[in-house]
Amino acid sequence: MATPHVSSFCFVILLCSVAAEAIDGGFTVELIHRDSPKSPFYDPSETPHQRVGKAVRRSIARLAGFRSNTLGDPYAHITSNGGDYLIKIAIGTPPVQIVGVADTGSDLIWTQCKPCQSCFRQDAPLFDPSKSRTYAVVSYHSPKCKVYDETSSSPQGQCLYTARYGDQSYSNGNIATDAISLDSTSGSSIKFSETVFGCGHDNGGTFNAHSSGIVGLGGGDASLISQMGRSYGGMFSYCLVPFFSSSSSKLSFGLHAHVSGQGTVSTPLIQKSPKTFFYLTLEGISINGKKFTMAGSSRHGAGNIIIDSGTTVTSLPPDFYEQIEPAVASAIHLPRVQDPTGSLNLCYRSFGMFTSAPSITVHFTDADVKLNYYNAFVHIADDVVCFTFVPSSCEKVVYGNLAQMNFLIGYDVARRMVSFKPADCSYH
Domain spans of the chain? 26-253, 261-422
Q: How far apart are CA 158 and CA 141, in angstroms?
A: 8
Q: How far apart are CA 115 and CA 89, in angstroms?
A: 21
What is the secondary structure of 285-340 as a DSSP string?
EEETTEEEE--SSGGGSTT-EEE-TT--SEEE-HHHHHHHHHHHHHT--S-EE--T
Residues catalogued as catalytic: 103, 308
Name the CATH topology of 261-422.
Cathepsin D, subunit A; domain 1 (2.40.70)
Q: What is the pLDDT of residue 296?
A: 53
pLDDT along the chain (428 residues), means of 10: 29 29 58 59 62 58 48 32 68 92 84 93 93 98 91 95 82 96 80 94 86 87 84 84 76 88 96 87 96 72 88 90 96 93 90 88 98 93 92 83 94 93 88
Q: What is the pLDDT of residue 80?
A: 35
Q: What is the pLDDT of residue 102?
A: 79
Cα 128 to Cα 94, 96, 136, 178, 406: the distances in Å are 11, 9, 12, 12, 39
| Cα 137–chain centre separation | 28
How many other CB atoms sit within 10 Å of the CB of residue 152? 14
By the 8 A CB rule, do 410 and 373 touch?
A: no
Q: Identify the DSSP state of 179.
A: E
In CATH, what number does 26-253 get? 2.40.70.10
Q: What is the pLDDT of residue 266?
A: 98
- Please state whether the peptide bond connecting residue 422 to the residue before it is cis, i.e. omega within 30 degrees of 0: no
Q: How far apart are CA 297 and CA 86, in angstroms?
A: 36
| Cα 34–chain centre separation | 12
Q: What is the pLDDT of residue 49?
A: 62
The answer to whether the predicted template modeling score (pTM) of the entire model surpasses 0.85 is no
Q: Pick from 166, 147, 153, 160: which is nearest to 275 by CA?
A: 147
Q: How far apart are CA 268 and CA 277, in angstroms?
A: 14
Instruction: Give burial (CB, 10 Å; 0-12/13-18/19+) of 25.
Output: middle
Q: What is the pLDDT of residue 205?
A: 85
Residue 369 one-letter amino acid: V
In the three-class reduction of DSSP (H, G, I as helix; E, B as strand; rest coil), residue 225 is classed as: helix
Same fold, 26-253 and 261-422: yes
Q: What is the pLDDT of residue 295?
A: 74
How many other CB atoms sit within 10 Å of the CB of residue 355? 8
Strands 265-268 and 417-422: antiparallel
Q: What is the pLDDT of residue 17?
A: 30
Ordered alpha helix ranges (H), 360-417: 373-376
